[in-house]
Structure 1
Amino acid sequence: MHIDLSGKTALVTGSTAGIGLASAVGLAKAGAKVIINGRGSDRVEEAVRKAVNAAPGADISGVAADLSSAEGVDKLVESAGDVDILVNNVGIFGPQPFYEVDDATWEMFFQLNVMSGVRLSRALLPKMTQKGWGRIVFLSSESALNIPADMIHYGFTKTAVLSLSRGLAKFAAGTGVTVNSVLPGPTYSEGVENMLEDMAKEKGISIKEAGVEFVKSARPSSIIQRPAEVEEVANMVVYACSKEASATSGAALRVDGGVVDSIVP
């Protein structure tokens, strides 16, 4: 199967590193014009350089905007212009005991992980439906189904994303716009690698080896018995954004390595 997104413009939020950057590169290699987003201009410029090096000749630009506020989303929408593909990837995570998670932290996670996608979809979906074609993809997580006891506030936002994605798919029924969510499991993203760094140093092993140990101990139901690479998750994102995925909408597409112990999606 050859995915060709020539003539399409894709906006990937939170795409200066990790799954977001890998998705941006994958979309660019498929021919899409890609807009990279992050909070700081330096990080955005660096990510654009990396993406151009990975996809020579691609049309890749960047917009710095903090999507934890309505004002930041408005700035991004104004700068991005006409968008055919929206990948709601931006998000934060981090383990924290439930009793220590205050209201401000709950609100911060909700605003960035959930409301950024709500606001961007509300702003960009109308033009997609007018054109009769569009793709919206939300990055959820296996933590949406297996709520981590040490990250309840994070798992909650990823469950909310599943509801949002399914509801928007129904809302856009028959318009030619599809809406799906992608559920990664443990993945060698920048944030996860930072989390594994102390473990690796303590045991005198590589981060990759620490990742395998983490999966086997913390996610023993994993079938692949290792974290995924960011490109492996990005492959699913690119497919969900493709013309070939026209009959896939309202789906929760798992790239969790089999962590969720279920025979149905």
Structure 2
Amino acid sequence: MDLNISGRTAVVTGADSGIGLATAKMLAAEGVNIVLNDKTEAELEKAAEEVRAQAKGNAQVLALTADLTRFEEVQQLAAQAKEKFGGADIVVNCAGIRGAAGDFLTLSDEDWFTTINTDLMGAVRVCRAFIPQMQAKGWGRIVLIASENALQPYEEESPYNACKAGIINLTKCLSKAYSPAGIMINCVSPAYVATPMTDAMMKELAEKRHTSEDEAITWFLKNKRENIVVDRRGSASEVAAVIAFLCSGQASYITGSNYRVDGGAVATAFG
């Protein structure tokens, strides 16, 4: 399918690995100019080379570091995108952390603030910086990354749960404000996808259970994610495929929605 976005410009945060990198590759293959963002220059440049290898036609790839917990750096990212490409048409905010996890009563204010500052306020800052560019164009696509945890929270991840629920609410709020101007704003909720974040979780679990990481994955699926009827971890490209469609010209009547890419992980039919 031609997504009808060749020549557009996309900013992808959290793009040096996982869902962000997979999304950037998919959009570049559609002829989209890509601004890759993450915090570590060396890893980001390596990712940029992978994206350039997928780029179609005259699509260009620019790697820019910025820390989304600092609004001045997000503003600079937006300014650089405008200078190079005339501004963003598409923004996909994949940057995020699991944050502190454990018994609710053991988590400090700092634990909460650290997670909120990245997972929720990072998205707020990105939207605040790039929506004006889309308003000027009269066209835009924003995709934020929520999680199954927003709808089916796990007790040991309360800060992450709350932030991801906030992302779904933020998505709906922004769509009501800006979709009349042609900016379609949606979010995607993955579940147990093979990314560096879940790799770290499985490594920690394997060490705790004194097993291999493959055995930890099998145990986790059976005991912690029993609703995943596909019975495996998802891939970043499976999530990126949904994101890419939401960025497309065809997604012109879709806004304020949350799309679950979870293998059935959320047990309810609603939400």
TM tier relative to shorter chain: over 0.9
For these two proteins, the number of residue pairs brought into alignment is 263
- Answer with 55-64 or 25-34: which moved more: 55-64
Task: Determine helix, strand or coil for the equivalent of 2:255.
Answer: coil
Name the structure 1 match of 2:63.
62
RMSD of Structure 2 on Structure 1 (CA): 1.8
- Residues 36, 62 of structure 2: 8 Å contact kept: yes
> Partners of 1:41 and 1:127 in 2: how far apart?
25
Whole-angstrom distance in 1 between the partners of 2:92 and 2:137: 18
With over 3 angstroms needed to count, the CA separation of the structure-2 counterparts of 1:104 and 1:204, relative to structure 1, is closer
- Cα distance, 1:199 vs. partner? 4.7
Q: In the alignment, is the contact (CA less than 8 A) between 1:212 and 1:227 conserved in 2? A: no
Q: Secondary structure at the match of 1:10?
A: strand
Q: Which amino acid aligns with 2:108?
A: D
Instruction: Tell me if structure 2 keeps the 8 A contact 1:4–1:31.
Output: no
Tell me the equivalent position of 1:27.
27
Q: Alpha-carbon deviation of 1:197?
A: 2.8
Could you tell which deviates more after superposition, 39-48 or 12-21? 39-48
TM-score after normalising by structure 1: 0.93
Partner of 1:220: 226
For 1:68-217, what aligned pairs fall within 5 Å after superposition?
Answer: 68-81=69-82, 82-94=87-99, 95-199=101-205, 202-204=210-212, 206=214, 210-217=216-223
- SS of the residue corresponding to residue 64 of structure 2 reads strand
1:38-67, Cα deviation, whole Å (9 max, x unpaired) = 112112111111222344664211101111
2:191, 2:113 → 1: CA distance?
24
Q: Calculate percent identity across the aligned residue pairs.
A: 34
CA distance in 2, matches of 1:53, 1:15: 15
Cα distance 1:54–1:6, how it changes in 2: closer, same or farther (>3 A)?
closer
* Structure 2 segments unaligned to the other structure (5+ residues): none
Contact 1:141 1:183 in 2 (8 A): yes
Task: Give the conservation status (yes or no) of the 8 Å contact 1:69–1:112.
Answer: no
* Aligned CA distance change for structure 1 residues 72 and 239 (closer, same or farther; 3 Å): same
Quote the offset at 1:125 in angstroms. 1.1
| 1:97 Cα deviation from its structure 2 partner | 2.5
Unaligned 5+ residue runs, structure 1?
A: none
SS state of the match for residue 143, structure 1?
A: helix
Cα distance 1:151–1:110, how it changes in 2: closer, same or farther (>3 A)?
same
* Equivalent AA in structure 2 for residue 203 of structure 1: T
Report the Cα distance in structure 1 between the residues aligned to 2:201 and 2:67, rounded to whole angstroms. 23
Change (3 A) 1:186 1:205: closer
Normalization by structure 2: what TM-score? 0.91
The answer as to 2:256 corresponding to 1:255 is: no
Residues 154 and 204 of structure 1, relative CA distance in 2, 3 Å threshold: closer
Residues in 1 aligned to 2:78 and 2:110: alpha-carbon distance in whole angstroms? 26
1:249 shift after superposition: 0.5
SS at match of 1:239: helix
Residue equivalent to 1:51 = 51
Letter in 2 for 1:91: G
After TM superposition, the structure 1 stretch with the greater mean CA deviation from structure 2, 77-86 or 230-239, is: 77-86
The alignment partner of 1:4 has SS state of coil
Distance across 2 between alignment mates of 1:54 and 1:120: 25
- Following the alignment from structure 1 to structure 2, what is the Cα–Cα distance between the partners of residues 70 and 79? 14
Give the C-alpha shift of residue 190 in structure 1. Answer: 1.1
1:16 aligned partner = 16
What is the CA-CA distance between 1:198 and the residue it aligns to? 4.9
